[in-house]
Amino acid sequence: MTEWINVILQGVLTGGLYAMFAAGLALIFGVMRLVNIAHGDLIVLAAYVALLVTDSMGIGPLTSLIIVVPVMMLIGYGLQRGLLNFTLGPDILPPLLVTFGLSIIIQNGLLELFTADSRKLQAGAIEIETFRLMSGVWIGILPLIQFVVAVAVIWGLQLLFYRTALGRAFRATSDDQPVAQLMGLDTRHVFAMAMALSLAVIAIAGVFLAVRANFDPAIGPARLIFGFEAVIIGGLGSMWGTLAGGIILGVSQAIGAQIDPGWQLLAGHIVFLVILAVRPEGLFPKVSG
Amino acid sequence: MTQVEHATASSRIGVVLIGVALIVLAMTPLWGDRHTLHLLAEIFTYIALASLWNLLAGYAGLVSVGQQAYVGLGGYLLFALAMFGGVHPIAAILIAGPVAALVSIPVAALIFRLRGAYFAIGTWVVAEVFRLIASQIAVLGGGSGISLPAHIIINMAPSRQWREFEIYWLALALAVIVLGAIVVLLRSRHGLALTAIRDNEQAAQSNGIDVTRIKLIVYVLTAFGTAMVGGLIFLMKLRISPDTAFSVNDWTAFVIFITVIGGIGRIEGPIIGTVIFFFLRQTLADLGSLYLLMMGMVAIVVMLFAPQGLWGVIAERLGWQALPLQRRLVVADEPETGTKP
């Protein structure tokens, strides 16, 4: 019994990470209807930026976020203004193929710079610290921090969307781009801000990914798929939905892995496909559009 | 009297040139060495894969990044049928097509719920599911893969040379059949509908085209063709593993690159693109990951500055078409040419 409680708790905590993968993806889809195929590779890029920062400055991975987040935000802003803004339009093909090309460029660029070796960020003693929840059930401090940060990130995004001027600009552009432009919004800037914000979330997710597990240049696409599945499970257009989607995916994978290690990923995909079959609008859809 | 004409002067020349090229290519085993035959067969498989992806993404607007699902399915069906069903490998390839088409129907029922770019990632999830299932099948080598047993390879043909000829001709035939089927499809009523969907999906729908039905037909047909090509690819490789069979790089990234460079939404595009791709590969492959990096950049630049691709530029500037696909109204009562008083 306690064994299963442990499994499900692990799944929930991992789900926080998936929710962060998903939140960045949902954010830019919500604002500009762009699906970023390079999303997963940008998460891996953030992990390598953190690797460089921690190695060169001798600081811990969590502290390195002070540098990694702004760096990724700058990359995001530049990427949107310098490249992706030119692909947006009624045709879905250009943004899709350009971000696909970007994914190949990032993967092979990282391969060229860092080789295919597996890397990991060292967070020190905190990595193995745990506390006892009840007899036989232990929770790792680091997974717990990761989950709390994920909830905070999604709560922060929610606040930003509904309580700030930038959030209003995001929603206005999302609802009707031409009218938003008529009202004096520079949509090129709004889109770039959305991408910068998405990459800030990516930076946090990338650092936690790199502390929790080994990473190499090729693991990006699988992160994109996890994030995407969490978005669809949760329901398009809902930030809290991505958290629910991430948790459902994390728990499914944990249960699958408990039954047979080979079933970890398959269980997650199957749950995703079942939800797509019985509830294609997701579990917590906001509004269509 | 008004009638629709497909051919133009350039397409008449094109058809003759293609005919001559086919005769020369069919006779390549008479003069080509093993290396040439193998390279050409590989080129034919990529022409077929890219043409199928072009039909799917360029015409039906179904941008898939998961066609490796059907390449791998075809490959695994070949191995399973040949090893446990005692089926001749070439027959197994022919069976792989309809089986994959059957599999693609429930898959389509699921992923057609996703729109646009989300559809693309949905296809990828399906390919991942196929890959994970393949790695669970122990009798087909599980995660590490399996080689085609020697007796199956030896029994395929009277001699090694004949086996290579058979594979070469099969590759050529598959490429020709795929291209021929696409030409027939595009010249049919469905083709007119597809071209309309390519140009403007909403306008096509408002003119009474059942867009979803046509998309489903194209998706199933593409799965049919892709699985047969997949079977052939792994008959050439003689070894299969989940990672090579369902490789997103080999069967999707390269195919997208080929189609985008050559010209998406045009039947000539994938052929031109494949020639360019193999030329670059033969000259730059030593660069390894740098080569892939450059490929990604070229694809982005083409998509931004010449989204119609190389053949698109040629067709727009010069009005050429290599195959008779255009529709022009010819009004018979008025003389087309002739001196006017």
Q: Which residues of A touch B296 (CB under 8 A)?
A: 101-105, 108
**CA of A37: which chain B residue's CA is closest?**
B121
pLDDT score recorded for residue B340: 42
**CA of A112: which chain B residue's CA is closest?**
B289
- Among the partner-chain residues B110, B133, B143, the one whose CB lies closest to the CB of A273 is B110
Q: Are the beta carbons of A229 and B113 separated by less than 8 Å?
A: no
* All structural domains of chain B with their residue ranges: 34-319
Structure tokens at A48: 């390598």
pLDDT score recorded for residue A216: 96
pLDDT score recorded for residue B339: 45
**CA of B265: which chain A residue's CA is closest?**
A93
CA dist A102 and A41 (Å) reads 9
Q: Is B253 on the interface with A (CB under 8 A)?
A: yes
CATH of domain A2-278: 1.10.3470
- Among the partner-chain residues B63, B128, B248, the one whose CB lies closest to the CB of A93 is B63
Q: Is B307 on the interface with A (CB under 8 A)?
A: yes
CA dist A146 and A16 (Å) reads 7
Residue B229, number of CB atoms within 10 A of its CB: 29
Of chain B, the percentage scoring pLDDT greater than 90 comes to 55
Q: DSSP per residue over chain A, as a string? A: -HHHHHHHHHHHHHHHHHHHHHHHHHHHHHHH----TTHHHHHHHHHHHHHHHHHHH---HHHHHHHHHHHHHHHHHHHHHHTGGGG-SS-SHHHHHHHHHHHHHHHHHHHHHH-S--B----GGGGT-EEEEETTEEEEHHHHHHHHHHHHHHHHHHHHHHHSHHHHHHHHHHH-HHHHHHTT--HHHHHHHHHHHHHHHHHHHHHHHHHHS-B-GGGHHHHHHHHHHHHHHH-TT-HHHHHHHHHHHHHHHHHHHHH-GGGHHHHHHHHHHHHHHH-TT-SS-----
pLDDT score recorded for residue A25: 93
Q: What is the pLDDT along chain A (289 residues), one digit of tens a residue?
A: 788 999 999 999 999 999 999 999 999 988 988 889 999 999 999 999 999 999 999 999 999 999 999 999 999 999 999 999 999 988 888 898 899 999 999 999 999 999 999 999 988 888 888 888 888 888 899 999 999 999 999 999 999 999 999 999 999 998 888 888 888 899 999 999 999 999 999 999 999 999 999 999 999 999 999 999 999 999 877 789 999 999 999 999 999 999 998 899 999 999 999 998 888 888 887 654 3
Q: Give the class (CATH, top level) of B34-319.
A: mainly alpha
CA dist A55 and A127 (Å) reads 18
pLDDT per residue as tens digits for the range B7-62 = 777 788 888 888 888 888 888 888 888 899 999 999 999 999 999 999 999 889 89
pLDDT per residue as tens digits for the range B120-172 = 989 999 999 999 999 999 999 999 999 999 999 988 888 888 999 999 999 99
pLDDT per residue as tens digits for the range B195-218 = 888 888 888 888 888 889 999 999
Q: Is B113 on the interface with A (CB under 8 A)?
A: yes
Phi, psi for A117 (deg, rounded to 5): -60, 145
Closest approach of A264 to chain B, Cα-based (Å)? 10
pLDDT score recorded for residue A229: 94
ipTM score: 0.88
Q: Are the beta carbons of B307 and A229 separated by less than 8 Å?
A: no
* All structural domains of chain A with their residue ranges: 2-278
Q: Which residues of A touch B57 (CB under 8 A)?
A: 93
Kindly tell me if the per-residue pLDDT of B284 is higher than 90: no
Using CB atoms within 10 Å of the CB of residue B276, give its burial: 0 to 12 exposed, 13 to 18 middle, 19+ buried. Answer: middle
pLDDT per residue as tens digits for the range B222-273 = 999 999 999 999 999 999 999 999 999 899 989 999 999 999 988 899 999 9
List beta partners, residue A137.
Answer: A134
